[in-house]
Amino acid sequence: MNARRTLLLAAGGLVLAIGATFLLDPFRNYQLALVAAYLCATAGLTVLVGLSGQLSLGHAALMAAGGYGYALTVNALTGAGVDGVVLFLGGIVGAVVVSGVVGLLLGLAGARLHGPYLAGLTLTLVVAVPAVAASVPALQGDRGVRTAFDGVPAPLRSLIALEQWQAWVALAVAAVAVTGLVLLRDGRAGLRMRAVRDDEVAAALAGIAPARVKVLAFVASSVTAGLGGSVLVFVTQSVSPGAFPLGLSLLLLVAVVVGGLGSLLGAALGAVLVVLLPWLVGAVTDALPLPDAVVQRLDGTLASLVFGVLLIALVAGAPGGLAGALTAARARHRARRAAAGAGGTDRTGRTGRARRSRPARRGAPAAPPAGDPSGPARPTTPRTPREPVRTPTEG
């Protein structure tokens, strides 16, 4: 898929998604904005883990870096009298810079690490977020940083609600992030990441620098995660360490595996599960006649339990995740259609099966085998031998 086609598909998908917001109520538009925010993080994580083979348990910290970068930049620009689209774009730039720098440092530190060592490094980062927020006065500790209210632009206030406007912005940011990852995956950088993932020594012998490829993968994944964090801050208008705990990092990784590791479609399905599954579990527990103490205990923990059961079931039945299962089902459907077109259908409705021939009657001559030109033996009449013709020179 070339770059022009990718951009056209991204633009068309964004237009369709924005049009779908008119069919949703405000709460569903709010959920759609959250799905778009988490899609930025899951898409970057699936490229990092599935494409370059590096395990990260600290993507919540990268989202926090983007969220704090957005909030601090927006507050600084608001104090300088900037507002409108310039204010939002300035906040996005701040989120990209902060998350990109954190990802660069993390990639440089983990370029020579593999497996559990790299996972431990990223895990340390997400555990250190509350301590950093408490140590830096500008981050205001556990209270976090709040941003000024950014409502619907004046020309659109009579047409759409605030939640729909937030969904539009979130979808636009997610479209930019995912499109950039698609271009990265389909380009030379994606080929180099696959080469390093499959065999690092062979890639180095082929002239590829594995350390640079790993750092690039970390930076790209960090920037998209930072964009997701900035969208969350734009929607909630606040950022704090409690919004990006260790459980969120593990939940993002499980969502990527359940959706389909290495697949952007799987990343989208995982983002939907991250938002909708806790809501569905909460709705079910509220509908059941359970005591308040039991409901309070199940709040938050039951959704994680359902995620774990779903992960075990998919690993056992469909190792490729939901996206892999959909791809396999589509391939089986195409194979059945091809077999039906090649074999034809007989009177009984059987597809692709040859008709059975009826057994021959007793006493009837057997039919010659296929391809035998002689056929059955026929009675012949004896011929009288001809007398040889003599020439005049013969005696």
Confidence of residue 389 (pLDDT cuts 50, 70, 90): very low
Q: Highest mean pLDDT: which of 192-196, 327-331, 374-378?
A: 192-196
The predicted structure's pLDDT at residue 135: 83
Q: For the full predicted model, state whether its pTM sits above 0.75.
A: yes
Q: For the CA atoms of 47, 49, 54, 55, what is the dihedral angle to 10 degrees?
A: 140
379 φ, ψ (degrees, to nearest 5)? -70, 140
pLDDT in tens, 228-237: 999 999 999 9
pLDDT above 70 coverage of the chain, percent: 86
Contacts (Cβ under 8 Å, ≥6 apart) of 267: 39, 42, 43, 45, 46, 256, 259, 260
Residue 395 pLDDT exceeds 80: no
As a whole number of angstroms, the distance between CA 283 and CA 143 comes to 29
Residue 222 pLDDT exceeds 90: yes
Among 134-143, 301-310, 376-385, the range scoring the smallest mean pLDDT is 376-385
Confidence of residue 381 (pLDDT cuts 50, 70, 90): low
> What does the pLDDT average to over 338-346?
70
Confidence of residue 299 (pLDDT cuts 50, 70, 90): confident
Average pLDDT value over all residues in the chain: 83
pLDDT above 90 coverage of the chain, percent: 35
pLDDT in tens, 62-120: 999 999 999 999 999 998 888 888 999 999 999 999 999 999 998 888 787 877 888 88
The predicted structure's pLDDT at residue 359: 52
The predicted structure's pLDDT at residue 391: 44
Helix (H) or strand (E) holding 238: strand 238-239
pLDDT in tens, 155-190: 888 888 999 999 999 999 999 999 999 999 888 988
The predicted structure's pLDDT at residue 179: 94
121 φ, ψ (degrees, to nearest 5)? -65, -45
The predicted structure's pLDDT at residue 14: 92
pLDDT in tens, 131-162: 888 888 888 888 888 998 888 888 888 888 99
Helix (H) or strand (E) holding 343: helix 321-343
> What does the pLDDT average to over 361-373?
51
Confidence of residue 4 (pLDDT cuts 50, 70, 90): confident
160 φ, ψ (degrees, to nearest 5)? -130, 160
Confidence of residue 383 (pLDDT cuts 50, 70, 90): low
The predicted structure's pLDDT at residue 365: 53
Q: For the CA atoms of 75, 76, 78, 83, what is the dihedral angle to 10 degrees?
A: -100
> What does the pLDDT average to over 319-332?
85
- DSSP 8-state class, residue 49: I
How many other CB atoms are found less than 10 A from the CB of residue 291?
A: 8
3-245 is a CATH 3.30.559 domain:
no
The predicted structure's pLDDT at residue 366: 52
Residue 239, beta-bridge partner list: 145
Instruction: Give the pair of three-digit tokens for residue 236.
Output: 């909630």
Rg (CA), the chain: 33
As a whole number of angstroms, the distance between CA 145 and CA 331 comes to 50
